């Protein structure tokens, strides 16, 4: 059985959790894996026969201490990554744990050479539809971690389709950050105060507008839509941002201090909805007609009304199921995300080894 070479791009919070999990798990793995390349934005560590496992914890500690891979002995410039991957013989898998758009050409080139791909990075999957098509061409693309982190959302949708079910509608709360903020608003906090609190606690992106703008949810909605066979582009998704365009040019501190003006728009809407017993939630809706992302007023009886804190909730309406299928739980966090990535990698490694 040929060893499967593994290339990992990204050693951030998810990359480190993944490496730690791989180190714990790999000895009992049926598939034979060799971690041949590991890259951050500065450099790549490359060893065609595999980076020794004893070194992995030290590399993780090095990155956790905020040091770049370029300061690790023997590191090569990250610009050489494409060329190094070009030297690999199949079977190999590229695991993209960056948040970068730049990895797409490298992923496409690897895919053309028969590589498997495992993605936690949503951006390559949200590029133009032809790229999605090309990434899927050899049937060796896995991307469970991109939607709902460790929740098996993509597997559920693929399983239902493989079973011949027609999926009529997917409705989902896919932002842990917005879930947290609206839960705090339910508890009586002003919207702007909830945003500031989430920012202080590190629950938002460094710039909270990255969450409030809705694009992260829109990317997840696009990935769901494409998984269902819809040939949509990101621009086809109607996205409701929770701040006006003119606040886009402020610095982060300026935005946070100006956020009080959102209490008269989003905050006021939440208070009105709350007064009528309903709740305000930020949801993605995907149907065969298209996808939308934005604020919804949900009835007290809706499972979305009961949702509190950062958990995700996905409801799927499918052919023979009389009530929606529900999937709920943590939709972010390095550990649960790493679990989905490892499951995808092992699934691919087994598929690749059985063909080699």
Ligand X SMILES: NC(=O)c1ccc[n+]([C@@H]2O[C@H](COP(=O)([O-])OP(=O)(O)OC[C@H]3O[C@@H](n4cnc5c(N)ncnc54)[C@H](OP(=O)(O)O)[C@@H]3O)[C@@H](O)[C@H]2O)c1
State the residues that interact with ligand X by CB under 6 A.
9-15, 39-42, 68, 78, 97-100, 102-103, 120-122, 145, 149, 332-334, 337
Residue nearest ligand X (C-beta atom):
12
H/E run at residue 60: helix 56-64
Cβ-in-10-Å burial (0-12, 13-18, 19+) of 91 comes to: buried
Minimum separation from the CB atom of position 340 to ligand X (A): 8
Q: Would you say 219 and 225 are in contact if contact means Cβ atoms under 8 Å apart?
A: no
CB of 203 to ligand X, least distance (A): 11
What are the structure tokens assigned to 77, written together? 């410039």
Which H or E element spans position 178? helix 176-186
Which one, of 141, 212, 182, 153, lies nearest residue 337 by Cα?
A: 153
Separation between Cα atoms, residue 204 and residue 192, nearest integer Å: 13
CB-based contacts of 149, cutoff 8 Å, min separation 6: 312, 330, 331, 332, 333, 336, 337, 340
The helix/strand/coil state of 84 is helix
CB of 68 to ligand X, least distance (A): 5
DSSP three-state, residue 117 = strand
15 versus 116: smaller Cβ distance to ligand X: 15
Provide, rounded to whole angstroms, the least separation between the CB of residue 92 and ligand X. Answer: 17
- Cβ nearer to ligand X, comparing 62 with 274: 62
Closer residue to ligand X (CB): 103 or 302? 103
Q: How far is the CB of 5 from ligand X (least distance, A)?
A: 17
208 vs 334, which CB is nearer to ligand X? 334
Mark whether 220 is an active-site residue.
Answer: yes
Q: What is the DSSP string of 247-295?
A: GGGS-HHHHHHHGGGGGGTHHHHHHHHHHTT-EEEEEEEEETTEEEEEE
Minimum CB separation from ligand X for residue 89, in Å? 22
The residue (of 12 and 329) whose beta carbon lies closer to ligand X is 12
From 63, 87, 220, 269, the catalytic residue? 220
Three-state DSSP at 33 gives strand
Residues serving a catalytic function are 220
């Amino acid at each position: 059985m040929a060893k499967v070479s593994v290339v990992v791009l990204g050693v951030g919070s998810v990359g480190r959790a993944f490496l730690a999990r791989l180190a714990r798990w790999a000895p009992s793995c049926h598939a034979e894996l060799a971690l041949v390349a590991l890259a951050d934005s500065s450099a790549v560590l490359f060893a065609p026969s595999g980076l020794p496992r004893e070194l992995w914890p030290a590399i993780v500690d090095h990155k956790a201490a905020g040091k770049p891979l370029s300061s690790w002995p023997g590191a090569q410039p990250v610009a050489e990554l494409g060329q190094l991957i070009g030297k690999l013989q199949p079977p190999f898998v590229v695991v993209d744990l960056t948040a970068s758009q730049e990895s797409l050409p490298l992923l496409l080139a690897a895919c053309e050479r028969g590589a498997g791909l495992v993605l936690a990075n949503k951006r390559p999957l949200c590029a133009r539809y032809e790229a999605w098509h090309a990434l899927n061409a050899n049937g060796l693309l896995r991307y469970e971690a991109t939607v709902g982190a460790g929740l098996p959302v993509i597997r559920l949708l693929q399983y239902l389709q493989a079973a011949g079910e027609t999926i009529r509608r997917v409705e989902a709360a896919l932002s842990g950050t917005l879930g947290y903020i609206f839960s705090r608003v339910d508890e009586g906090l002003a919207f702007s105060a909830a945003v500031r609190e989430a920012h202080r606690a590190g629950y938002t992106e460094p710039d909270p507008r990255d969450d409030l703008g809705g694009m992260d949810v829109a990317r997840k909605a696009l990935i769901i839509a494409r998984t269902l066979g819809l040939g949509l582009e990101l621009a086809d998704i109607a996205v409701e941002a929770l701040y006006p365009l003119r606040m886009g040019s402020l610095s982060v501190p300026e935005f946070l201090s100006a956020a009080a003006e959102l209490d008269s728009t989003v905050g006021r809407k939440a208070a009105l909805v709350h007064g009528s017993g309903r709740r305000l939630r930020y949801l993605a809706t995907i149907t065969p007609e298209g996808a939308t992302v934005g604020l919804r007023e949900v009835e007290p009886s809706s499972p979305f009304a009961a949702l509190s804190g950062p958990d995700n909730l996905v409801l799927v309406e499918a052919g023979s199921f009389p009530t929606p299928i529900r999937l709920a739980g943590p939709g972010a966090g390095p550990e649960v995300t790493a679990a989905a990535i490892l499951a995808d990698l092992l699934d691919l490694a087994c598929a690749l080894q059985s063909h080699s």
